[in-house]
């Protein structure tokens, strides 16, 4: 069962929260900034050892001061109109994060809407990609949470879930 919740992903007590990071993994705005603030400076120090991350891939860090045990950082595509592999790259973010989680015995995981903030990916198309990927892994996890930052985003996810169930 995929859970749609509305709120701040940094507050979630799960095995892993996913960060919509940038290629440096050294912090930024939006959900990335919130996760770094809540995890504390150890996350930045740890991430310096990771050597960045390619778009569509994912890397694992400890959760440090977060309630979550781990942070999975993935780098979503910047939207350039949809003809530059953006949908495939976004799907790859979800799949890479879920595969990395499985490899580390992570049973509960929460995702923000990767690429749907500053990176400009259209929210509805992004929600369909996110839900489809989550559904294909749902049997292998105890909890998969879609953490929306607004009620409007949560309503969109619930609608997409209904259409794709």
Among 134, 147, 156, 161, binds ligand ADP (CB under 6 A): 147
Binding mask 17-46 for ligand ADP (x = CB under 6 A): ---x---------xxx-x------------
Least Å from the CB of residue 111 to ligand ADP: 9
**Residue tagged 């309503």 (tokens):** 155
Residue 32: active-site member: yes
Total residues binding ligand ADP (CB under 6 A): 19
Binding of residue 10 to ligand ADP (CB under 6 A): yes
Q: Is 108 left (phi over 0), alpha (psi -120 to 50) or beta?
A: beta
Least Å from the CB of residue 155 to ligand ADP: 13
DSSP string, the chain: -EEEEES-GGG--SSEEEEEE-TT-S--SHHHHHHHHHH-HHHHHHHTTTT---TT-EEEEE-TTSSSSEEEEEEPPPPSSS-SSHHHHHHHHHHHHHHHHHHTT--EEEE--TTSSTT---HHHHHHHHHHHHHHHGGG-SEEEEEESSHHHHHHHHHHHHHT-
Least Å from the CB of residue 4 to ligand ADP: 12
Binding of residue 60 to ligand ADP (CB under 6 A): no
Among 39, 53, 101, 114, binds ligand ADP (CB under 6 A): 114
Q: Find the catalytic residue in 15, 32, 105, 153.
A: 32
Binding residues (CB under 6 A) for ligand ADP: these are 8-10, 20, 30-32, 34, 76, 112-119, 147, 149
Q: Which residues are catalytic?
A: 32
């Amino acid at each position: 069962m995929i859970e749609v919740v509305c709120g701040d992903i940094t507050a979630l007590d799960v095995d892993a929260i996913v960060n919509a990071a940038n290629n440096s993994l050294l912090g930024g705005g939006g959900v990335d900034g919130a996760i770094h603030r809540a995890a504390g400076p150890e996350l930045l120090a740890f991430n310096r050892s990771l050597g960045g991350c390619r778009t569509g891939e994912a890397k694992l860090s400890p959760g440090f001061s977060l309630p979550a045990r781990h942070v999975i950082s993935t780098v979503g595509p910047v939207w350039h109109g949809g003809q530059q592999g953006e949908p495939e790259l976004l799907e790859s973010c979800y799949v890479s994060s879920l595969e990395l989680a499985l490899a580390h015995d992570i049973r509960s995981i929460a995702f923000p809407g990767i690429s749907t903030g500053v990176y400009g990916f259209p929210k509805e198309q992004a929600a369909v990609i996110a839900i489809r990927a989550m559904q294909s892994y749902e049997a292998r996890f105890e909890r998969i949470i879609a953490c929306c930052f607004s009620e409007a985003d949560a309503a969109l996810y619930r609608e997409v879930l209904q259409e794709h169930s």
